[in-house]
């Protein structure tokens, strides 16, 4: 009797251990048929053939191979191993029911279209070590409105639902679920990745950074509701299929600076209307393609700005009501919950938006040198910061400021400005129509000055009338203005950067 009891007890223990082992194996995707579902080649997962909703990838996997989970409509969540290094091309593409993915800190590379057309994907975390990203990683992920990037990442960030390099100079991709119809590109952006805006069907109007020189292949392709694009005189080339199948594209201004447009750049854009200047490459391209066009010059931002006014009307009214209740205008801190500051220019309401995250000040509120001290900690005077401020006179930019944003002092009462050594960039129209600005000090550290930065200032007008020579060269070899005959223009040997429209 005692012997039977011992045997029975041992059997129970073995049964419990076996059951526990099976559960543990299922949790890591290693037991029974689930283990067989992982087709491996060394440490590379070549294909997952299972049907689980939650999949635990084995710890031994270092690479998720090409198309490993592609077209698997069973999975809702995949738990990746802590030592995974690479996610290859199309690895999770077309997984219609995949809801969430956490990319561990060990991953350094994510291939093109890795999660393309995962229509339910809405929860994404990207670890700190990703250094190499392909194009269109989340293209077609229509539920993805935002994602989290590790705060320890030195290569990536996500701002305004746009995945970009940490220094904000390169856009990898706008997340397709982004709801805002307008996108005013961060003024630091210099390059747009391929497929960056592919399938962003809520996007209607884009204002490009004035540092963009090339519109990349497929950059805006299949953005079905894109209606207008505004580009500066920095753009020189529009590449292959850049706007392919933008079926709603109505208006695009092709500046004089554009000297090359690929034959397929506007394939499928049946509604597009070109605005160009007569005799430019853009006007010739439109004529050769038999596209609707006008050679009547227009201000390239006018259409987008007009439509944006209507869109932000509710914000304007709410802001004005708040100001009336407070019985006095106050500075507004631009942050994640405030999209802009409403002010009046003439009889028009204008929304001032600061892409650098600074303070927007106007009118009697502006005390330039005090307010500038607050901004100098960031090293940037934000876009529109002192737009229309009428209490300014002598302005000294603090040391430590490297960048003056677009429209920063435009239409203000500033009479002189001292820009310190160490400043490198003066943005688009930064001092535009500062009619009383007579004295300007630009240090040798300045390497970039945007279009119209000093247009309609007393300082520049005086140079046109009384300045020596035909070339105004400032900063570190920046050609700011030219007053000779157009046919006689020759780029001086000491010029490193030509300000837009100068010739």
CA distance 415 to 413: 6
List the beta bridge partners of residue 251.
228, 273
Task: Specify if 12 maps to a domain.
Answer: no
Q: Is 495 exposed, middle or buried (0-12, 13-18, 19+ CB in 10 A)?
A: middle
- State residue 428's pLDDT score: 85
Q: Is residue 471 part of a domain?
A: yes
Triad 340, 190, 275: Cα angle to 5° = 75
Same domain, 363 and 252: no
Query: What single-letter DSSP state applies at residue 152?
Result: T
What is the chain's Cα-based Rg? 28
d(CA 181, CA 334) in angstroms, rounded, equals 20
| Residue 367 structure tokens | 């005390």
Q: Does 97 share its domain with 239?
A: no
What's the rounded Cα separation, in Å, for the pair 75 and 80?
Answer: 13
Residue 38 has a pLDDT of 94
Q: Which of 183, 224, 181, 223 lies closest to 204 in space, CA to CA?
A: 181
Q: Which string of DSSP letters, residue by residue, matches 214-266?
A: EE-TTTTTT-TT--EEE--TT--EE-TTTTTT-TT--EEE--TT--EE-TTTT
Q: Taking the model in full, what pTM does it have?
A: 0.59
Answer yes or no: is 13 within a domain. Answer: no
Q: In what helix (H) or strand (E) does residue 485 lie, and over which residues does it extend?
A: none
Answer whether residue 9 is part of any domain: no
Same domain, 155 and 218: no
Question: Is there a single domain that holds both residue 146 and residue 47?
Answer: yes
Which pLDDT does position 334 carry in this prediction? 46
**Sign of the alpha-carbon torsion through 338, 185, 93, 88:** negative
- Asked whether residue 120 falls in the same domain as residue 207, the answer is no
Both 38 and 143 in one domain: the answer is yes
**Both 152 and 190 in a single domain?**
no
Domain termination residue (choose one: 159, 174, 189) = 174
Q: What single string gives the DSSP state of each residue in 161-192?
A: TEEEETTSSEEEEE-TT---SEEE--TT--EE
Name the β-bridge partners of 238: 215, 261
Query: Is there a single domain that holds both residue 362 and residue 478?
Result: yes
- Asked if residue 73 belongs to a domain, the reply is yes
CATH number at residue 253: 3.80.10.10
Residue 253 pairs in a beta bridge with 275
Question: Is 252 within the bounds of a domain?
Answer: yes
Report the pLDDT value the prediction gives residue 103, as an integer from 0 to 100. 96
Write down which residue in 112, 141, 174 finishes a domain. Answer: 174
SS3 string, 277-299, reads CCCCHHHHHHHHCCCCEECCCCC
The candidate with the shortest Cα–Cα distance to 92, out of 83, 82, 102, is 102
* Final residue of a structural domain among 174, 194, 221: 174
Identify whether residues 258 and 388 lie together within a single domain. Answer: no
**Is 218 found in the same domain as 150?**
no
Q: CB of 68 within 8 A of CB of 87?
A: no
Per-residue pLDDT in tens (0 to 9) along the chain, 503 residues = 444 444 444 444 444 444 444 444 444 434 445 678 999 999 999 999 999 999 999 999 999 999 999 999 999 999 999 999 999 999 999 999 999 999 999 999 999 999 999 999 999 999 999 999 999 999 999 999 999 999 999 999 999 999 999 999 999 999 999 999 989 898 899 999 999 999 999 999 998 988 999 999 999 999 999 998 888 888 999 999 999 999 999 888 888 899 999 999 999 998 888 888 888 899 899 888 888 777 665 544 455 556 556 656 655 666 666 666 665 444 444 444 444 544 444 344 444 444 444 444 444 444 555 667 666 667 888 888 888 888 888 998 888 899 998 888 988 899 999 999 999 999 888 998 899 999 999 999 999 998 889 999 999 999 999 988 899 999 999 999 988 887 787 888 898 888 756 55
What span, in angstroms and rounded, lies between the C-alpha atoms of 58 and 52?
A: 14
Q: Rounded to 5 degrees, what angle do the CA atoms 34, 37, 40 make?
A: 125
- Are residues 184 and 170 located together in one domain of the fold? no
Name the domain count of the chain: 3
Dist. CA 269–CA 250, nearest whole Å: 8
One domain for residues 251 and 394: no
Going through 94-180 in order, the beta strands assigned E by DSSP cover: 100-103, 109-110, 123-126, 132-133, 148-149, 156-159, 162-165, 170-174
pLDDT at 325: 62
Stated length of the chain:
503
Rounded Cα distance, 214 and 236, in Å: 6
Residue-number span of the structural domain to which 415 is assigned: 327-498
pLDDT of residue 324: 64
169, 128, 121: which is closest to 145 by C-alpha?
121
DSSP track, 371-439: HHHHHGGGTEE-TTTTTT-SS--EEEPPTT--EE-TTSSTT----EEEPPTT--EE-TTTTTT-TT--E
């Amino acid at each position: 009797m005692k012997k039977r009891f011992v045997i029975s007890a041992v059997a129970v223990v073995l049964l419990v251990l076996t059951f526990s082992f099976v559960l543990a194996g299922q949790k890591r995707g290693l037991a029974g048929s689930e283990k067989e579902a992982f087709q491996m080649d060394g440490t590379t997962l070549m294909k997952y053939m299972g049907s689980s909703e939650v999949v635990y990838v084995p710890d031994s996997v270092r690479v998720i191979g090409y198309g490993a989970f592609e077209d698997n409509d069973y999975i809702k969540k995949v738990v990746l191993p802590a030592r995974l290094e690479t996610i290859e091309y199309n690895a999770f593409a077309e997984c219609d029911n995949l809801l969430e993915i956490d990319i561990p800190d060990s991953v350094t590379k994510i291939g093109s279209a890795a999660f393309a057309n995962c229509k339910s994907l809405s929860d994404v975390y990207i670890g700190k070590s990703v250094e190499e990203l392909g194009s269109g990683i989340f293209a077609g992920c229509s539920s993805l409105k935002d994602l989290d990037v590790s705060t320890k990442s030195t290569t990536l960030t996500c701002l305004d639902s746009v995945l970009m390099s940490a220094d904000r100079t390169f856009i990898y991709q706008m997340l397709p679920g982004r709801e805002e119809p307008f996108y005013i590109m961060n003024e630091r952006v210099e390059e747009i990745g391929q497929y960056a805006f592919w399938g962003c069907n809520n996007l209607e109007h884009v204002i490009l950074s004035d540092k963009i020189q090339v519109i990349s292949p497929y950059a805006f392709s299949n953005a079905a509701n894109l209606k207008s694009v505004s580009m500066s005189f920095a753009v020189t080339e529009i590449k292959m299929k850049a706007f392919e199948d933008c079926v709603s594209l109505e208006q695009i201004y092709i500046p004089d600076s554009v000297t090359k447009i690929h034959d397929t750049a506007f394939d499928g854009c049946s509604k597009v209307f070109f605005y160009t200047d007569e005799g430019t490459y853009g006007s010739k391209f439109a004529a050769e393609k038999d596209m609707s066009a006008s050679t009547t010059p227009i201000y390239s931002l006018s259409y987008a700005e007009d439509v944006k006014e209507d869109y932000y009307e509710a914000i304007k009214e709410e802001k004005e009501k708040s100001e009336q209740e407070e019985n006095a205008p106050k500075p507004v801190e631009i942050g994640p919950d405030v999209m802009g500051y409403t002010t009046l220019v003439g009889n028009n309401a204008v929304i001032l938006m600061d892409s650098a995250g600074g303070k927007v000040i106007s009118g009697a509120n502006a005390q330039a040198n005090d307010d500038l001290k607050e901004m100098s900690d960031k090293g940037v005077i934000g876009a529109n910061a002192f737009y229309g401020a009428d209490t300014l006179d002598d302005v000294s930019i603090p040391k430590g400021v490297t960048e003056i944003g677009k429209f920063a002092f435009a239409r203000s009462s500033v009479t002189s400005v001292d820009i310190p050594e160490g400043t490198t960039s003066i943005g688009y129209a930064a001092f535009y129509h500062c009619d009383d600005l007579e004295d300007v000090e630009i240090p040798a550290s300045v390497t970039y000055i945007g279009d119209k930065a000093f247009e309609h200032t007393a300082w520049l007008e005086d140079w046109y009338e009384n300045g020596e020579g035909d070339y105004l060269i400032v900063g570190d070899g920046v050609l700011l203005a030219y007053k000779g005959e157009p046919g006689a223009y020759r780029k001086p040997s000491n010029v490193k950067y030509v300000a837009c429209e100068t010739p």
